[in-house]
Structure formats: structure tokens, C-alpha cells
Structure 1
Amino acid sequence: MKVHGVVARTLRQLGTDTVFGLMGDANMRFLIDFAEREGGRYISAVDEGAAVSMADGYSRVGNRLGVASVTHGPGVANTVTALTEAVRASSTMIVVTGDTPSRPGHLQRFDLRAVAGLTGAGYHRVLRPEDVADDVAAVIRRVLATRRPVLLDVPVDLHHADVPEPHPAGPARTGHAFAPDPDELDQALGVIAGSRRPVVLAGRGAALAGARDDLVELADLIGAPLATTLLAKDLFRGHPYDLGVAGTLGTELSTGTILAADCVVAFGAELNRYTTAEDSLLRDKAVVRIDIDPERLSRGGPAHTGVLGDAGVTARAMTEQLRDAGLRPGSFRGAELAAALAAHDPRAEFADRGGPATLDLRSAMIRLDELLPAERAVVTDTGRFVYAPWRYLHVPEPTAFAHTLNFASIGLGIATAIGAAAVAPERLTVAVVGDGGGMMGMAELITAVRWKLPIVVVVCNDGAYGMEYHHLEKAGVDPAPSLLHWPDFAPVARAYGAEAVTVRTMDELEAAVKRLDATSGVPFVIEIKADPSVDVGETS
């Protein structure tokens, strides 16, 4: 076989069924082999950065390896923003490319290793044709183990070399769950047993470990309410003591409850400044952290007790030992808290500021949550609008939620949502974007149309770069320079082959959702007109 054929076959043998990309000299033979010879699915994007964002969304929402492929030079250069986002999101993803031919003066020569280093991705160059199958397999194992994307460089000079057909290989496997150190566990149990008002906090690590039931059992035993980080959104939804997302997105009730706690037991959680509300939620509390990442544990403060271990395995061990010790739950989560949580009405958190021709995005997201199919994925771009979907649009499980805030770049949301839709076409994917990021990513609607992906794009159009508008207004400066004058999104979307509607009232929003047919294979765009002066981050 040729080297390019071995790359395609090895990826297929190791479980890759989809590659997102844009074809060029460095990857066209590989992509043809992957789709035509190996029976894979090649989804071509409009832009190389969008292809990487698609693989990123595919990885995050599918909890599996995402693969993108771009050509060398400007192809790789165009991926820098999306690849940085994927690295900071800890996506399990590889980008297949190939260095330019070794002849001097090639117009697209570019330092691929330097680009990888700039974004924080790993870099692996295939040096010998006979090593290509082993190198591809090694890179996949590395990515799955470290959750750090890798730029895989298969130089064009090697592509047409003859190599033996690779031996059949089984699907690539992730690492196994491991138990905690007994001494660390014992120290943590002492802290938990000595608390009277504990809270169990779950992060994305706990969700990926499939630890929900184990954490619920532990929380029930110790009498702890349950909360999550944003990336573990809705892990405990439906439980009578679910506080929801902790921190800056928390409700008044959930924040008050966590403030009253004397111990936070955090599983697979970053405990960043958003989750902890600038550390105010952890102040004067014992903190027990359970994580498989020793570096994350080392970032804890002096009051933190760390346990290196899998969330599910550790929670089960804690429950078993505390039960054997005869621990009885405290009274922190009584009937009064359960009743208050059950009675919570998100509409009571703010005063609706919709106008005659604009919607309050908070009310709009609450209504969309009620109207859209419950079985869905939600992907957001970034911008001031995100507070509304993050608070009020729910998902069936945490991996069905993703955002593109890790590098704080607008414009990645639609492409990331297309990747999410490609990995789970049986359910609706809801992309929520601002007007600035939406206009940047709108061209990729063509990709969603071409592949008949079940996606609805909700454009929150306040006619401004919202965060900049807010900062200028707050500083007493005329915010007019932040205002935008786009064409209406609906006719643009229809020109790309999607269905689309513009809404200004709640009746129009409800009518738009009734038109939505998730099984039609035609992407649907709902443009919501909003007022830039309304601060959607405000709650009472």
C-alpha cells in the first residue's frame, strides 16, 4: 500500500468513521482513500478552521476521537484559533496534515511544529514510511490518554512510498478507572465525616467517568445537596436536591445553600473562578477534591484535601466505608430545601425587558427550553448572550452540552455544532450564537445543508457586539461604535439552503418552533431580535 492509504486504513481500523476537512495537496489522497476505499465518511467544510471546530464538537459531544484533516501552509494557519479552542477544551482530537515537499521555494512552506506549539497541541511527525501505521496508532493512544489534541504530520514526500499492508487492529481504548490511595481516601473521609453541611459538586470529569449514580448514592448517605460546574450541566437534573450549576450562573437559592455549607466535595471539577464565584463559595470551608489529574489537584489551596482517583470508583469506596462506619446523614438537605427547589421558577429571577419588536433573550430561552425536543444537544458560541442559554436551555446529559469560550473567540459555534450533529444525527442539535459570531460562521450552513444534519441555529441578534456595548455603556462612553448593521439573517440562511425565520415576539417564536421539523434534514435558523441595552446576565 501507499503511505496515504495506510493512514486511512489505520484510522478506520482504530474506530474512526468520520473525518472533517478541506482537501489540498497534503491530504487529498488520504481523504479519497478514507472515503472511497475504506468506507469512511468525509465531511468537507468551507474553511479549515471550521473543519477543526467540527472535529472538536464531534469529540466533545460524542465523547470519542475527533479527526480533522487540512493541507499544509495556509491550511494549517487557518486552524490556529479553532485548534487552540480544542486544546483548551481538552478535546480528544487529531489534525492530519503533511509538511510541504522538500524542494526549495515551495510557496506553502510553514513550520508545523511551531504552529502546534503556539496552540498548545502536541506534534508528531512521521519520519519513515514503514512506521506510519504504528505512528498513527501511537498518536491516537496518546490523545485518548492525555485529552490533548495532536497535529499529525505525514510529510508529502512520504505519501507515495510503498509499505506493507498494516495488520488489522482493534478499536483504540482509553485508560482504565483507578482506585484512590488508601491514605488519601482515609484523610478525605475524615473531613467528610466531620462536616455537618456538605455539598457534592460534580465537574465534567465526573460526567465523563459515568459517576452520576455513585455521586447520588454518596450524597444521599451524607445528606448533601448536589451541584455541578457548567461543563457538567444537568448531571443531577430531576434529583430533588439538585442545586444546578454553581457559581456565577447559580440561582439565589443554590448560591445561598452552598454559602451555608461547611464542606464541598468536588469530583472532577476545575473549581475555577466562575464555579467558585471568585473563591467566595469556598471561603471558610473544607474542600475535598477528587480527580484523575494530579496537576489539577496540586492547584488546590491549603485547605484542600486531594484524592487522586476515578470519580465513580472513589465515590463508591467513600460510600462503602462511611456506611460501614455507621455514618448518618445530617439535616442540611431537609424537606424545606426540597420544596424550595421544586417551587423554583426561572422567570422569577428577572424582570422581562422585551419590547414591542424585541424579545428578552432570557424569556426566549426559557420558552425554547419548553418547546424544543428534550432529546437534544446544545452548543453555544461566545458573547454576552451566553448567560441566557447557559442558564435556561437544558440537556439530557452533560456531554450533550458544549461551548466555545475556552479561547474566548466568537465565530466557532456553528461549526462546532455541526460536528455535534454529525456524531448524533438521531437527535436535534441546537446552536445558539450571537449576531457577530453567527455572521462569521454562517457560511458553514452549507455543510449542514449538504449533509442534511438535524440542526437549529438560534441567532441572538441585538445588532451589536454585546460585551463591548455593555463595557462602553458601563464606562459612560457612547456605545454606538459597537453597533452592527447586518443584513437580516433569515434571507441569508435561506440563500444557503436552510429554512429560516426572524422573530420579534413570543408568539412569533412559538410559531417558528412549530415549523421546525427535526427529521426533515433541512437546517433551520431562528433569528431573535433583541435589544442591546438589556443585560441578559442580570438576575434579581
Structure 2
Amino acid sequence: MNPRVSDIIASALIRHIDTFFGLMGNGNAWLCNALEESGHGIVPVRHEVATVAAADAYHRVTGRLAAATTTYGPGYTNTVTALAEAAMARTPLVFVVGSAPTTGHRPWDVDQAGIAAAVGAPTFTVSADDAGTVTIRAVAHALAERVPVVLAVPYDVGAVPATEDGQVIPDLPTPPHPPELSAADATTIAGMLRDARRPLILAGRGAKSASAQLRVLAGTLGADVATSAPARGLFEGGSGYRDLGVCGGFATEFAAQQIHAADVVLVVGAGLNQFTMAFGGAFHPDATVVQIDLANAATHARVDEFFRACSSQAVREITVRLGDVDRPRVDKPSVPEPARPEGDALAPDGRLDPRSLMVRLNRILPKDKLVASDGGHFIGWANMYFDLPAADSINLLGTAFQSIGLGFPTGVGVAAAAGERLTVLVTGDGGGLMGFADAESFVRTAHRGVVIVFNDAAYGAEIHQYATKGLREEPMLIPEVDFAGLFRALGAKADVIRRLEDLAAFEQWVQTGSRGTYVLDCQVSPQIIAPWMCEVAGL
């Protein structure tokens, strides 16, 4: 008997993908079985949204393609928030999903291809005659276009034998050569940087491959450097430049002032979203903003000159043409220490001050860690206070689509990628409750995991944006949830943290290198407002 269509799909995928996140149902049962029989299997999750979110997070950490799989209908629609995030963040992944049978839609079927197209993900549909070829075509498209793709398996196709043509699994096509910066354009940009009095280099996740070249360029210029939030750590290990940290809402007041003083800003591999741009106020109105990116056009209206090019090649060419820099040096103050407010032991209401909490946690946790953060009022604390070793050491999945509730699903993907490294998952009580189905997935997947819950018994972002404008607080409040108790039921160690002294047992756990997951249910004050939230809310 010929191998089933699902067997061919699995065989084609495992040539290029080593990790699969899935939740089994009617529409993908044969695929899950084929993966198990191949020796790969899936990382099981408990809610469908986590399949796509975990695959996205895994790619952001490793740079390798991952796959997600669910059943059709509600299993599919449950993933749409994560699928939209992946599309907006330009994350390549393959989402294998059951779909309506070839005989036509059943009463419970929806237009899955239309939904995918609406969020920016193309759909490839297999048949018994082309299963291997279409699967490889989907993989190639995801990698070449840097997008999530949906690989649809009709309900009446997955278990049938593949034809001889359907069993063919072609080689992956040679990827298109990335666009290069021309010599003339490199000379132009080099001239701008050479003539600048206060050049600034801003790098994002898209510049990871150019990190070494960027450090050389920055050192040659004596420039200031900054990064987008997830690219923190990209300039670690260099010299001859001043590292201002994160650009935008998570910047310190000092760094924001220095970034605003730049007269030429070279942006490499950063999308310039509203947070990086400090809602339009990051750069001086007279500054010249030059962007190098693989996008087809400038990603923000503030960009004056856009060049579509591979970051590593472009930066190398600019550096070659820069030559000796002989321009007036501007006296710049050194970055102050401590760069962040250390806060008080307790806030005026007697609950934890998140600033002093993060200072203490940063001293306890090793620098070599991977951080996954959900969205919400607390999102800036980890990025502002944690030492991070390299770009993508912090995963802020959800920010492109401005979603909360993807923290635990993100943590699963980060933990799967972490190996022996410590995975730290940061969430709030609101977003944490949204994604709690995959708290068990995180506890099971993490070799060494830490969960930090900023528990303020409220949707803090809404409190600070809308209660301050006179709206009633009741819809924004959450009953005090015992996250420590919930996690103990899942097999994790857990403490309720009401004072900094309550961290003593956790500190000992970190120092002994113990395995498993440790949960810190931190009872933080809603009265301490993050600087980025003050900016958003106009406080």
C-alpha cells in the first residue's frame, strides 16, 4: 500500500523542520500519527493558539523554521490571533491544519483560506497527487517571503494513499539572493554618517546577522547605538561607542534625550513600530533618518531615505567606504549608573514596588537566560531591568498585533528552544489567566523555568489609560488569584511574594541549579506606573 498523504507531508516537513507544536483533533490525527511514527512527534499544547505562538517563538530564538498543527474549524479559528502576530512580525512558520473535505463545505466549516488571507498568511492545499511537492512549496514560500503559511489538508485526503506523483518530495529550491546595497548608495550613506555631528545607529532583530559589522561601524564612527526592545544586547562586546540601550518607550529618560539629539539616524533591521518610535517622538524633527531593511518600502513615515538590502552586506559596504572619520567630536556624558530608578521596598499601598522587585530579581537571575514576556502594563519591567546577553534573549510575542494572553504559549516555544538555559516567563494576572491553559505546557516543557506573575488584581494598562480619565474601574479589576496555588497543582514550586525577603527560597533554588519550574506570584502595587505607560496615557 502506498504511504498516506499525511505520511508524505510529515516526511517532507522533517527534512527542514525539527520541532512541531500541536494539538490533535479530527483534521490532523493522521499527521500527528505520522510524526510520532517518524520519531519526531509533537510538543503537545493545551490550547490551539499555543501551536502557532510557540512555533513563532521558537523561530525567534533559534532562527530555525518550526511547524504548528491543529484540526479544522474551531481548532483553526482558535489560532488566528497568533497567526496574525506571526504575519505582522514577519515570522516564517508552517501551520498544518485540517480543512473542509474536497466534496464541499460542511455546516461547521468556515472559509479558512479567507481568514488566513485576511491576516496576511497564504494557504497551500495538498492533494493525493501533489502532497510532497505542495508541502515543499509551502516551506520555500515561508522562508523566502518571511511569512507564516497555512498548509491545508482536506478532511478526506489526509488518510488516503498518495499517488506516485504525490509521493515525490522535491529538493527545497535555492532561496533567492537577498538584495544588496549598491556601491553608490553605500558611498552616499557613508558620507551622511561621516558628516554627522551626532550619528546614531538603531538596530532591530533584522540586524542580528550584522551584529559584528555594526559594532565595527559604530566603533569607527564613535557613534551612539540603540536597539529595538527585542534586539537588546546586540551591541554587547564592542568598544568605541556609547550604548544607550532601547530606543522608544522602554528607554531611560537620559537615553531618550540623547537619542533625540542625533542628527543622522541609521536604522538597520528595525521595523520602527510605535513603541520604538515613542509614538513619533523618538527622533528630532530635523534628524535625517536612513533605513536599511528587507521590507519592500520604508516601514515608517519618518524615514527620509530607504534602501532595500541585506543588513550584513550593507553595513560591510558602508564601513569600507567610510574611511578615516575626521569630524568634530561632541562631548557626550556617560550613561549614568544606576540607569533605572531602584524604587522602594514597598509601594505606598503596602504592596511590592515592581522596580525594586526587578532590581532584586536581576541580581538573583543569571545573565545567560531567555525571557518570554506577555503584554500588558508590566511589559516594560523585564526589558528595562533585566541584563540580557544578546538580541532575541527577550521574546515579546504579541507586540506586533498588540495582543495580550500569549505569554504562556510563547514560553512553551522559548522553553523548547532553550536547551539547558534558564527560561523566564513574565506575565500579568490578566494575560496570564487568558493563556493559563498552557501553563501546564510550560511546566512540562521547560528544563529550568521561572514564571514571574505581576499580580496587581487588575488590567493595569486599562486602569492607567482609562480609569485616570474617569471611567468606572469595575470592568478593569480582577479578583486576587492564587497563582502559586494553581501552579503547585501543576507540579511546580511556587511562592507568593509580598516582600523582597520572600525571595530567599527562590534565590537558593537558582544558586543550586535545580531543575523544574519555580513560580513567583508577585503581589505588586497598581500605584507604580511604568514610564512607557505614562507616555501612552499622557500622565
Does TM-score exceed 0.5, indicating one fold? yes
Residue aligning to 1:138: 137
Aligned 8 A contact 2:443 2:449 in 1: no
* 2:470 aligned counterpart, secondary structure: coil
* 2:181 aligned counterpart, secondary structure: coil
Residue aligning to 1:375: 368
Are positions 1:288 and 2:287 aligned together? no
Aligned counterpart in structure 2 of residue 456 of structure 1, from 450, 453, 459: 450
Deviation at 1:431, TM superposition (A): 0.8
Aligned counterpart in structure 2 of residue 421 of structure 1, from 412, 415, 425: 415
Change (3 A) 1:507 1:329: farther
1:518 and 1:57 map into 2 onto residues whose CA distance is 28
Please list, as runs of the form range in 1=range in 2, the aligned pairs for 1:36-55 lying within 5 A after superposition.
36=37, 38-55=38-55
Deviation at 1:89, TM superposition (A): 1.9
2:233 and 2:361 map into 1 onto residues whose CA distance is 17
Aligned 8 A contact 1:129 1:161 in 2: yes
Please list, as runs of the form range in 1=range in 2, the aligned pairs for 1:489-508 lying within 5 A after superposition.
489-508=483-502
Aligned 8 A contact 1:62 1:399 in 2: no
Aligned 8 A contact 1:187 1:305 in 2: no
Amino acid at match of 2:507: V
Residue aligning to 1:270: 271
**Which range moved further: 478-487 or 390-399?**
478-487
Change (3 A) 1:247 1:415: same
* 1:68 aligned counterpart, secondary structure: strand
* 2:516 aligned counterpart, secondary structure: coil
1:117 and 1:525 map into 2 onto residues whose CA distance is 39
Change (3 A) 1:480 1:130: closer
Change (3 A) 1:265 1:146: same
Aligned counterpart in structure 2 of residue 514 of structure 1, from 508, 514, 520: 508
Change (3 A) 1:19 1:499: same
Residue aligning to 1:67: 67
2:481 and 2:189 map into 1 onto residues whose CA distance is 58
Aligned 8 A contact 1:445 1:498 in 2: no
Aligned 8 A contact 2:130 2:168 in 1: no
Are positions 1:12 and 2:14 aligned together? yes
1:139 and 1:104 map into 2 onto residues whose CA distance is 23
1:347 and 1:308 map into 2 onto residues whose CA distance is 36
Change (3 A) 1:394 1:292: same
Amino acid at match of 1:236: F
Residue aligning to 1:124: 124
Amino acid at match of 1:63: G
1:202 and 1:260 map into 2 onto residues whose CA distance is 17
Please list, as runs of the form range in 1=range in 2, the aligned pairs for 1:198-277 lying within 5 A after superposition.
198-207=199-208, 210-237=209-236, 239=238, 241-277=242-278
1:518 and 1:44 map into 2 onto residues whose CA distance is 29
Please list, as runs of the form range in 1=range in 2, the aligned pairs for 1:471-490 lying within 5 A after superposition.
471-490=465-484
Deviation at 1:530, TM superposition (A): 0.9
Aligned counterpart in structure 1 of residue 382 of structure 2, from 389, 393, 399: 389
Residue aligning to 1:439: 433
Deviation at 1:220, TM superposition (A): 1.5
Aligned 8 A contact 2:55 2:66 in 1: yes
Q: Please give the root-mean-square deviation of Cα atoms over the aligned residues, in Å.
A: 2.5
Aligned counterpart in structure 2 of residue 399 of structure 1, from 355, 374, 392: 392
Deviation at 1:56, TM superposition (A): 1.6
Are positions 1:331 and 2:342 aligned together? no
Please list, as runs of the form range in 1=range in 2, the aligned pairs for 1:338-357 lying within 5 A after superposition.
340-341=334-335, 343-348=336-341, 354=347, 357=350
* 2:452 aligned counterpart, secondary structure: strand
Amino acid at match of 2:326: R
Deviation at 1:328, TM superposition (A): 2.6
Change (3 A) 1:102 1:309: closer
Q: Could you list the per-position Cα deviations for residues 416-472 of structure 1 after superposition, in whole angstroms to 9, with x for gaps in the alignment? A: 111111022221111100001112222212223334543211100001111121123
Are positions 1:96 and 2:90 aligned together? no
Residue aligning to 2:32: 31
1:517 and 1:167 map into 2 onto residues whose CA distance is 53
Deviation at 1:93, TM superposition (A): 1.0
Aligned 8 A contact 1:199 1:264 in 2: yes
* 2:372 aligned counterpart, secondary structure: strand
Change (3 A) 1:149 1:214: same
Deviation at 1:206, TM superposition (A): 0.7
1:279 and 1:472 map into 2 onto residues whose CA distance is 22
TM-score, length of structure 1 as denominator length:
0.91
**Which range moved further: 105-114 or 60-69?**
105-114
**Which range moved further: 277-286 or 161-170?**
161-170
Change (3 A) 1:451 1:251: closer
Deviation at 1:169, TM superposition (A): 6.4
2:82 and 2:234 map into 1 onto residues whose CA distance is 27
Q: Could you list the per-position Cα deviations for residues 252-287 of structure 1 after superposition, in whole angstroms to 9, with x for gaps in the alignment? A: 221222222211111112223322323331410122
Amino acid at match of 2:110: F
Deviation at 1:90, TM superposition (A): 1.6
Residue aligning to 2:194: 193
1:88 and 1:378 map into 2 onto residues whose CA distance is 21
Residue aligning to 2:4: 2
| Unaligned stretches of 5+ residues in structure 2 | none
Amino acid at match of 1:87: A
Amino acid at match of 1:310: C
Q: Hey, which bits of structure 1, 4+ residues long, moved more than 4 A?
A: 102-105, 165-178, 349-353, 516-521
Q: Could you list the per-position Cα deviations for residues 182-229 of structure 1 after superposition, in whole angstroms to 9, with x for gaps in the alignment? A: 33223222322221211111111112xx21121111112122111111
Deviation at 1:168, TM superposition (A): 6.9
What fraction of aligned residue pairs are identical, expressed as a percent? Answer: 33
Amino acid at match of 1:295: A
Aligned 8 A contact 1:413 1:431 in 2: yes
Deviation at 1:106, TM superposition (A): 3.6
Aligned 8 A contact 2:198 2:264 in 1: yes
1:533 and 1:252 map into 2 onto residues whose CA distance is 20
Change (3 A) 1:104 1:214: closer
Aligned 8 A contact 2:201 2:226 in 1: yes
Deviation at 1:509, TM superposition (A): 2.3
Change (3 A) 1:108 1:522: farther
1:106 and 1:276 map into 2 onto residues whose CA distance is 47
